[in-house]
Copies of this chain bind each other. A is one copy, B any other.
Amino acid sequence: MKKTVITVSREYGSGGRLIGRKLAEELGIAFYDGELLSLVAKESGYTEEFVRRNDQKKTQSLLYHLYIGSQILPASDMIFIAQSRVIKDLYSKESCVIVGRCADYVLRGCEGVINVFVTAPFESRLARVRDEYGEQPDNGNYRAYLTKKDKNRIAYYNYFADDAWGKVQTYDISVNSDIGIDKSADLLAQYIKERIGE
């Protein structure tokens, strides 16, 4: 298959990560989500545990950094920079699926990149987070938990990318995963095969 990097952006709880993994399997290419973190650790010099703790977190405000008198870039920024290098490096080397981490932004304008977005209605996402991901918010309030996760994801993207998160024109295909994980992956695989002419 022609070298292709597929970025998967997704709403929290939409099953986008699972769909990305399935898609990579169907296309027979590598999959990077958490897998990216050990590469980022190597690139940045931080420990993997530290990278994991700061993964996809927006940096605290500039005011905070001025307040604490920090002279160097905040850790989240350093990690984002290392991560961008890792993503560009993967792009130059192999076909793969990369989940999250503003990969669509990092690779904008690069040839052979196909951007995917996975959505799902709030209620579907809430049910998946509660019943399948097995996450347990402190106060049991899944609604508030999901709303906060959504907010953080958008803030992360809008901090590091120069564009607004979730603009439909950014993506080559988006899909509401209510048709199921496997069927969503099938549909995406089909689209991607059409795009790369296979």
**Which bracket fits the contact residues of A?**
20 to 34
Neighbour of A174 across the interface among B11, B171, B180, B187, CB < 8 A: B171
Neighbour of A179 across the interface among B174, B187, B195, CB < 8 A: B195
B171 touches A173 (CB 8 A): no
Answer whether residue A95 sits at the interface, using C-beta atoms and an 8 A cutoff.
no
With both chains docked as a complex, state the minimum distance between the C-beta of A197 and any C-beta of chain B, in angstroms: 9
Given A173-B176, A174-B174, A195-B178, residue A117 in contact with residue B187 (CB < 8 A): no
Answer whether residue A66 sits at the interface, using C-beta atoms and an 8 A cutoff.
no
Neighbour of A168 across the interface among B117, B178, B180, CB < 8 A: B117
Enumerate chain B residues within 8 angstroms of A178, measured Cβ to Cβ: 172, 195
Contact sample, A vs B, 5 pairs, CB 8 Å cutoff: A117-B174, A119-B169, A167-B167, A171-B176, A175-B191
Inter-chain pairs besides A179-B191, A187-B190, A190-B190, 13 sampled, C-beta below 8 Å: A11-B169, A117-B174, A119-B171, A167-B168, A168-B174, A172-B178, A173-B174, A174-B174, A178-B195, A179-B195, A180-B194, A187-B187, A187-B194
Identify the A interface with B (CB < 8 A): 11, 117, 119, 166-176, 178-180, 183, 187, 190-191, 194-195
